[in-house]
Amino acid sequence: MLYLVGVGLSSIEDITLKGLRVVKACDHVYIDAYTSILSHGIEEIEKLIGRCVNKADRECVEQTNVLIDYAKQSDVAFLVVGDPLAATTHLDLLTRCLESNVPVKVIHNASILNAAGCCGLQLYEFGETVSIPFWNELGRPESFFDKIEHNYMRGLHTLCLLDIQEKSIENILRRRDVFEPPRYMVCQQAAEQLLQTASRRSEASKVPRVETAMHAIVTPPPILTPECLVIGLARVGSDNCVITLSTLYEMARPNDAVPTPISQLLNGPLHSLIIPGRLQPLEIEWLMARERYSGNHKGDDLPHILISFEGEPATPFDAFCSEEIKRRRKMIIDSMFSYHCKHAIKSVVRGSD
Amino acid sequence: MLYLVGVGLSSIEDITLKGLRVVKACDHVYIDAYTSILSHGIEEIEKLIGRCVNKADRECVEQTNVLIDYAKQSDVAFLVVGDPLAATTHLDLLTRCLESNVPVKVIHNASILNAAGCCGLQLYEFGETVSIPFWNELGRPESFFDKIEHNYMRGLHTLCLLDIQEKSIENILRRRDVFEPPRYMVCQQAAEQLLQTASRRSEASKVPRVETAMHAIVTPPPILTPECLVIGLARVGSDNCVITLSTLYEMARPNDAVPTPISQLLNGPLHSLIIPGRLQPLEIEWLMARERYSGNHKGDDLPHILISFEGEPATPFDAFCSEEIKRRRKMIIDSMFSYHCKHAIKSVVRGSD
């Protein structure tokens, strides 16, 4: 039997009791070491389950039948960060198991797809999830942008999963299956690619087009503007989770542009970026309540909500001490929300034409 | 501090180690007894955590500050089936906490929103999630239908969450906050409402319309037809999880229409219904591999995939013994897939016009 055991988002403590029971009872334990980041070391897991854990790289899982062969004669646990079925490659593993007459069982856990709800946006109001790939010499795909715009026009939020790259350009070009320590895209890069796409398309739409006899081609105004509200998520589910609210423009600022840019506050991987659609009153109330609370409390367990805006250093709350700065911040947040809401509602109306 | 602790999908063994540690350390433990079904009894939970667990009904959570007041002076754990932030009402609780200066912490877990991946459809290929409400004397809302069609036209799958009703019509009419033991919508009812909506709209579209001078109004063909493929999910995450593949028509059959209709196989709550969009090759391979595997193996831990089609009793695999029936079944599944794929791809092409 092959058990696919979700180990959740962050620490080994995120495994379920059922998951732990299964893993302890299995003859062999492997861990997926390539589709996500493992913030807890393998040693910690080994200590908890009392047995040796083998790292399974992409080649082992996708190109060999090692796991399946073991599972023919014994019980094998394959640990996967998050929920086991969030990544495509694991479905393929299950299919190959069944084709070899090896039974399989999945033990679910939280994944970023539901834990993204920690930012206060309602999961039911999300449209299609998108993946934003690294742009490089090999290409600058923009299909994620269409999907975000489509969700946005319908008033839906978009969760953007950010690329993880394990192969160098050289190895991709030479079609060599050499995997390197993964590079994780951060929110700042994702925001930069979004802004560049928005700007390129806005330019392109200015080129005069031939109008047909039937009806004039009307170019809609751009939807994702630099003033758009975005939510940055870092290390969701862990104790050092950070959530930021900012404009897209602020999020895209390179690290050296201002003293404490938002990308620095978000810090290390894993990051996800959310483009909110139309905000519901409940969602706005929560975001505002958290913002107020973060301003009044320091160092407690609530993931920080940090607000960044142009002209003011984007800051953790304790840098805001004076009343004047608090007042200014509130004003800017309020106007950011009202800009955003107005804009998103306009888009929705347009989208439903 | 208020801890919102997700307890996962099915048994108390689905709690995470972190969740268990927190709950054991808290002074008060409450459990959400109204937004989902609790397949494990409270006694089981009490035994595991070694303390008394209080049931919190809707009134206690939404209309009083009981939890917040306790959390001002002590640590309170509020257990929620699935992931704590999947239900709207819990975000409201968190907002009220922060407004009362009570810190909060969320411990994530699996919810149906990610565990729906157990059917083999890729979570990234889902559009907006919909809720299908009970139709009754008070109304027959159809907005879920538009959302499903919208997803379908873009080739995206739709997860339909089915209604839970706690108030009688009489109590709703008299605006009385009297809650009764919940009634759970099953896939059969949801499919029936989908078919009725499809049929009503199809009829409505046959009414001749005035054509404008600019262009004829072309009525698009209906998208959700009785031949559409649907996936029924029952008790996801539990050991008696059932997954069915069938046509929408078969799913909608009332209980007494055929000896073993699909709704009987799915059995008790909780149900969810999936309307697949365009199926990816990987998804089809998995569905076919599972179907073949279910035909060859009995009684193991893999959730059963059951195929139902008109004329043949919808059956668990062991009812199919003869080669002739196996052959027929394969033929029908193949044609169901090919009908479905052709249809969904056509829709996508039309949707992107």
A21-53 pLDDT, tens digit each: 999 999 999 998 766 666 567 888 899 988 899
Q: How far is B2 from chain A (nearest CA, A)?
A: 11
B300 and B343 belong to one structural domain: no
Count of other CB atoms within 10 angstroms of residue B182: 16
Grade residue B346 by pLDDT with cuts at 50, 70 and 90: very low
A210 vs A87, more confident: A87
CB contact under 8 A, A18 and B9: no
pLDDT of residue A288: 75
| B323 shares a domain with B301 | no
Residue A28 belongs to domain with CATH number: 3.40.1010.10
Q: B183 and B167, same structural domain? A: yes
Cβ contacts of A243 on chain B, cutoff 8 Å:
none
Q: Which residue has the higher pLDDT, A295 or A195?
A: A195
- pLDDT digits 0-9 by tens, B128-179: 999 999 998 888 999 999 999 889 888 889 999 999 887 788 887 887 777 7
For residues A276 and A121, is the Cβ–Cβ distance under 8 A? yes
Q: Answer with the one of A110, A142, A164 that is the final residue of a domain.
A: A110
pLDDT at B207: 58
Q: Do A159 and A174 share a structural domain?
A: yes
How many domains would you assign to chain A?
Answer: 3
Q: What percent of chain B has pLDDT over 90?
A: 34
Residue B255, pLDDT above cutoff 70? no
Question: Under an 8 A CB cutoff, do A85 and B117 touch?
Answer: yes
B146 and B73 in a single domain? The answer is no
- How far is the alpha carbon of A59 from chain B, nearest alpha carbon, in Å? 18
pLDDT for position A86: 82
- B114 to A114: CB separation less than 8 angstroms, yes or no: yes
Mean pLDDT, range A137-151, rounded to an integer: 90
- B132 or A55: which carries more pLDDT confidence? B132
Please indicate whether, in this complex, the C-beta atoms of B91 and A214 are within 8 angstroms of each other.
Answer: no
- Using the beta-carbon criterion (under 8 Å), do A123 and B129 form an inter-chain contact? yes
Cβ atoms of A162 and A186 closer than 8 Å: yes
What single-letter amino acid sits at A28? H
Which of A65-79, A86-100, B196-210, B243-257 has the weakest average pLDDT?
Answer: B196-210
* Residue A77 banded pLDDT, cuts 50, 70, 90: very high
Mean pLDDT of A263-271: 85
Interface test with A, best of B95, B241, B286 (most A CBs within 10 A): B95
Give whole-number Cα distances, A73 to A21, A62, A271, A291, B161, in Å.
20, 20, 39, 55, 39
The residue among A110, A129, A157 that closes a domain is A110
Could you report the per-residue pLDDT of A285-332, keeping only the tens digit for each? 887 787 777 666 654 444 445 454 443 433 333 333 345 444 544 555
**Which band of pLDDT confidence, cut at 50, 70 and 90, is reported for residue A251?**
confident
The pair of three-digit structure tokens given for residue B4, joined into one six-digit string: 């919102």
Residue of B nearest to A12 (CA): B17
pLDDT score at A179: 72
Distance CA B285, CA B291 (A): 10
Mean pLDDT score of chain A, rounded to an integer? 78
Kindly state the average pLDDT of the residues B107-135.
93
User: What tens digit of pLDDT does each residue of B200-239 get?
Assistant: 887 776 655 544 444 444 444 556 777 778 899 998 988 8
Q: Cβ–Cβ of B115/A108 closer than 8 Å? A: yes
Select the more confidently predicted residue: A95 or B57.
Answer: A95
Residue of chain A minimizing CA distance to B124:
A129
pLDDT score for A319: 36
The answer on pLDDT for B311 being more than 90 is no
> What pLDDT does residue A44 have?
87
Task: State the amino acid at position A210 in one-letter form.
Answer: V
pLDDT in tens, A199-210: 888 777 665 554
CB distance A46 to A16 below 8 Å? no
Q: With contacts defined as CB-CB under 8 Å, which chain A residues touch B88?
A: 122, 124, 282
Measured between beta carbons, the chain A residues lying within 8 angstroms of B292 are 98-99
Contacts of A284 in chain B (CB under 8 A): none
What dihedral angle (degrees, nearest 10) is formed by the CA atoms of B319, B320, B321, B327?
170
The verdict on A51 and A162 lying in the same domain is no
User: Does the predicted TM-score (pTM) go above 0.80?
Assistant: yes
User: What sign for the dihedral angle of Cα B40, B43, B47, B50?
Assistant: positive
**CA proximity to B226, closest of B210, B250, B203:** B250
The lowest-confidence range among A68-77, A95-104, A237-246, B96-105 is A237-246
Q: Which of B54, B60, B106 shows the shortest CA–CA distance to B84?
A: B106
pLDDT tops 70 at residue A3: yes
A287 lies in the same domain as A299: yes
Instruction: Report whether B127 contacts B151 (CB < 8 A).
Output: yes
Q: Which of residues A92, A110, A128 is at a domain's end?
A: A110
Q: What is the predicted pLDDT for the residue at B348?
A: 37
Domain CATH for A124: 3.30.950.10
Same structural domain, B288 and B201: yes
Same domain, B286 and B192: yes
Task: Determine what percent of chain A is predicted with pLDDT higher than 70.
Answer: 73
Query: What is the model's pLDDT at position A194?
Result: 95
A265 and A118 belong to one structural domain: yes
Of A228 and B93, the structure prediction assigns the larger pLDDT to: B93
B94 and B191 both lie in a single domain: no
Higher-pLDDT residue of A157 and A351 is A157
- Say what the pLDDT of residue A259 is: 55
| Residues A102 and A125 occupy one common structural domain | no
- pLDDT value of position A322: 43
- How confident is the model at residue B135, as a pLDDT? 94
Strands (E), chain A: 2-6, 28-32, 54-56, 76-80, 104-107, 130-132, 158-162, 164-165, 183-184, 229-234, 242-247, 271-275, 304-307
Residue B344 is part of which domain span? 312-352
Choose between B77 and B43: higher pLDDT: B77
Contacts of A17 (CB under 8 A, 6+ apart): B12, B13, B14, B15, B16, B17, B20
